[in-house]
C-alpha cells in the first residue's frame, strides 16, 4: 500500500538529488521531508487501526448473531419437546423442559451472561414447577 501517485519522487529519489549539493542543503531537505513522512506514517497507522476495528466489529456481530440463532433454536426445541412429552403423559418432564430452564438457556445464549441471582430464581421456579407437576401422596385414595 503506497500513498504516492505514479511519477511522484520517493524519499530516496529526493535524497539522491540533494546529495549532489552541499551537506547543509541535504540536512535542510531531510528536515523538511521529516514532517511529511511522519504524517504519512500516522495516516497508515490510523488506517490499520480502523481496519482492525472493523474486523473486530464483524467478529463481534457474527458472535452475537450466532448466539441469537442458537438460543432461538434451543428454546424452540425445548418447547417442542415439552409439548411432545406432555402429550405422552409425562408432565414433570414437560415442566422441566418448558419451565424456567428455557429462560435460563435463552439468557445464556443470547445475553451471554447469567448472574447468580437469576440462577437462584430459576432454580426456585424449577423446583416449584416440579412440585406442581408431581401428584401429592394419598390424593388418589378415597
Residue 84 falls inside a structural domain? yes
pTM equals: 0.54
Stretch 40-57: mean pLDDT, rounded?
Answer: 95
Q: What is the pLDDT of residue 130?
A: 67
Count: domains in the chain: 1
More confident residue, 75 or 130: 75
Q: In terms of residue numbers, what domain contains 105?
A: 60-133
Residue 112 falls inside a structural domain? yes
Residue 30 falls inside a structural domain? no
Q: DSSP code of 111?
A: I
- 92: which residues sit within 8 A by CB, 6+ positions away? 130, 133, 134
Residue 14 falls inside a structural domain? no
Stretch 110-132: mean pLDDT, rounded?
Answer: 72
Q: Please count the CA atoms within 13 angstroms of the CA of 27 that sit on its side-chain side.
A: 3
Q: What is the pLDDT of residue 3?
A: 60
Stretch 69-73: mean pLDDT, rounded?
Answer: 88
What confidence category does residue 44 fall into, taking pLDDT thresholds of 50, 70 and 90? Answer: very high
Residue 119 falls inside a structural domain? yes
51: pLDDT strictly greater than 90? yes
Neighbours of 94 (CB within 10 A): 21
Q: What is the pLDDT of residue 142?
A: 45
Residue 22 falls inside a structural domain? no
**In contact, 114 and 107? CB cutoff 8 Å:** yes
First to last CA, the chain: 89
Residue 89 falls inside a structural domain? yes
Rounded to whole angstroms, the Cα distance separating 72 from 68 reads 6
Write down the residue that cell numbers 511522519 correspond to. 38
Amino acid at each position: 500500500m503506497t500513498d504516492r501517485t505514479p511519477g511522484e519522487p520517493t524519499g530516496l529519489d529526493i535524497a539522491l538529488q540533494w546529495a549532489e549539493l552541499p551537506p547543509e542543503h541535504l540536512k535542510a531537505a531531510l528536515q523538511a521531508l521529516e514532517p511529511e513522512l511522519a504524517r504519512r506514517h500516522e495516516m497508515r497507522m490510523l488506517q490499520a487501526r480502523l481496519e482492525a476495528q472493523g474486523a473486530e466489529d464483524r467478529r463481534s456481530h457474527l458472535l452475537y448473531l450466532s448466539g441469537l440463532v442458537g438460543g432461538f433454536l434451543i428454546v424452540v426445541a425445548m418447547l417442542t419437546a415439552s409439548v411432545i412429552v406432555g402429550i405422552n403423559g409425562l408432565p414433570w418432564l414437560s415442566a422441566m423442559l418448558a419451565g424456567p430452564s428455557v429462560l435460563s438457556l435463552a439468557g445464556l445464549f443470547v445475553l451471554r451472561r447469567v448472574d447468580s441471582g437469576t440462577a437462584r430464581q430459576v432454580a426456585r421456579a424449577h423446583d416449584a414447577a416440579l412440585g406442581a407437576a408431581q401428584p401429592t401422596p394419598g390424593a388418589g385414595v378415597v
